[in-house]
Amino acid sequence: MKNQLRSFLLGFSSFLLVWWWLSVITDNRSLPSPFPTFKRMWELKDVLFLHAGASLMRIFVALTIAVLVGLPAGILLGKYSKANQLFGPLLYFLYPLPKVAFLPIFMIFFGLGNLSKILLIFSVISIQVIVSIRDGVNEIPESYYQVMDNYSTKIWPSVRFLIFPALIPSLIASLRVSVGISLASLFFAENYNTTYGLGYLILSAWSKMDYEQMLSGILMIAWIGFFVFTVLDELERRFCRYR
Amino acid sequence: MHIELEKVGFGYNKESIFEQLDFTFDKGRSYVILGESGIGKSTLLALLKGFQQPLTGRVYYHQTTSKKVEMVFQDLRLFPWQTVYQALEMPLKIKKVDKVKRKAMIEALMNELEIHKFKDTYPAKLSGGQKQRVAMARGLITDPDFLLLDEPTSSLDQETKEKTQEYILSEQSNRGNGLVIVTHDIEEAAFLGETIIIMRNQGFQVYQNPVFHLENRRESLAFYEFVLQLRKMLKGEAE
């Protein structure tokens, strides 16, 4: 935890330095320096937390569903070659597609509220998770399954004692990649038909030319990203002690 | 309790490795299968465990089942994410042994094999001999009727090898399980095998070990004479 705090302070202070330096050399009110921005953040703290809470909730729900769906689906594709032959090509077709382009379709089918935004982020993350988990399953040495056959030929003991623990590093790595993409998708999704969320806050501040508020929203997104990364690091430290 | 091979034959790609093998492995005895690399020793262990089925003949389990036969692999296959304690706990959890009994069984076996102080250590931090003992403990924890060991000391230095061999025999004599060991090390065969089976020319040659019951047999001349005799038998120079 000490290391994480040190890395946060180091990262944040270098970010502040670059930001301050850019604000000085550009000398443009659309890029205010860090200090008036922090002052504005303090004034807006209640509103900011409300918007950040809404964004965090959408990311958390989408990540949870993506893991709940992606983990068994990835295991299925990795473990059963017929399932992979059937769905693998579809996965590769969907993987490079920019899922954000589907936002209008999600809105038509799932409404303008939270559901369509969560589903959009879910669609972005889940394919990433499925591919990583499937590849993770393929990396488990075949000989390890024979160890499990020593004790039971049923699938559940293998899933519990072999597949799940072997996949934790792949899962965490895929979630790390997914968090960055999901924050970007969230920013996009929160620009439409919503009054809560950091994406909305940033764009509405921009239209009001309240640049301090706009940068406050950007800073909040960075903090959310850092928070989620820290949680993932902690999970990795706890569950992958052997590494 | 015994495992019986009846006219067992096996091969890969239509090429026979062995055929018409008849033999009975009794519980409570130790057998060493000796032979050159690629002759089918490990395949025979896989047949005894039921990982593979013979192409001809049958493997019968009398008053035992393939579930009561445990295999310790040559490459050990300890899962990197399991501590020593977790590795021993896994088979018991699968067999739904309750927590209190589990703990008692694991503690007792760890003490017997002197791995207790590594109970929270992951395999990457263990030495070769310690890993071998952990893998053996994982095989023994379910109290099998037969323990199959595939080249159990091939990667160990001489001192650790001899110590590990002593652990193997002392566990077998405490528990009374059957022991089937595959090795290409003649001295190991002479030390561990009550019965020595030489695999040659697609068949078995079975010898009773005359020095097996000698105390401190490694220090006796008879032991090394038998090793020499085994070497000749293996090369086909003596019967």
CATH number at residue A223: 1.10.3720.10
pLDDT at A185: 86
Give the SS3 label for residue A205: helix
Q: How far is B13 from chain A (nearest CA, A)?
A: 21
Domain count of the fold of chain B: 1
Which among B159, B139, B163, B142 is positioned nearest to B150, based on CA atoms? Answer: B139
For residue B239, the model assigns a pLDDT of 62
CB contact under 8 A, B79 and A165: yes
Q: Collect all residues from A whose CB is shorter than 8 A from any CB in B.
A: 141, 143-144, 146-147, 149-152, 157, 161-162, 165-166, 168, 240-242
Rounded to whole angstroms, how far apart are CA atoms A171 and A166?
10
Is A148 a member of any domain? yes
pLDDT at B193 over 90: yes
Residue of A nearest to B81 (CA): A242
Cα separations in angstroms, A18 against A33, B106, B216: 10, 57, 76
Residue A243 to residues A232, A236, A238, B90, B107: CA-CA distances in angstroms? 15, 9, 11, 20, 26
Q: What pLDDT sits at residue B39?
A: 82
Q: How distant is the alpha carbon of residue A158 from its chain centre? A: 29
ipTM score for this prediction: 0.85
Contact between B75 and A143 using a beta-carbon 8 Å cutoff: yes
A116-175 residue pLDDT tens: 889 999 998 999 999 999 999 999 999 999 899 888 888 899 999 999 999 999 899 999
Each residue of A53-97: pLDDT tens digit? 989 999 999 999 999 999 999 999 998 989 999 998 998 888 888
> Tell me, what CATH number does B114's domain have?
3.40.50.300
Q: Which residues of chain B make contact with A165, given a CB cutoff of 8 A?
A: 79, 81-82
**Cβ within 8 Å, pair A161-B94:** yes
Q: How far is CA B211 from CA A100, A134, B19, B162, B217, in A?
A: 77, 54, 30, 16, 7
Residue A179 confidence class, pLDDT cut points 50, 70, 90 = confident
Contact B77 A143 (CB under 8 A): yes
In a domain, A4, yes or no: no
Residues 6+ apart with CB under 8 A from B178: B1, B2, B3, B25, B26, B27, B28, B29, B30, B31, B145, B146, B147
- What's the whole-number average pLDDT of chain B? 89
> For residues B185 and B30, is the Cβ–Cβ distance under 8 A?
no
CA distance B207 to B61: 23
pLDDT of res. B118 = 93
CA distance A208 to chain B (A): 54
How far apart, in Å, do the first and last CA atoms of chain B sit?
Answer: 30
Per residue in A5-57, pLDDT tens?
787 788 888 988 999 999 999 988 888 988 889 999 899 889 899 999 989 99
The range of the structural domain enclosing residue B109 comes to 2-235
Structural domain total, chain A: 1
Which domain range does residue A216 map to?
A: 37-239
Model pLDDT for residues B28-85, shown as the tens digit of each residue: 999 999 988 878 888 899 999 998 888 889 999 988 888 889 999 999 999 999 999 9
Residue from B79, B121, B125 whose CB has the most chain A CBs within 10 Å, to mutate: B79
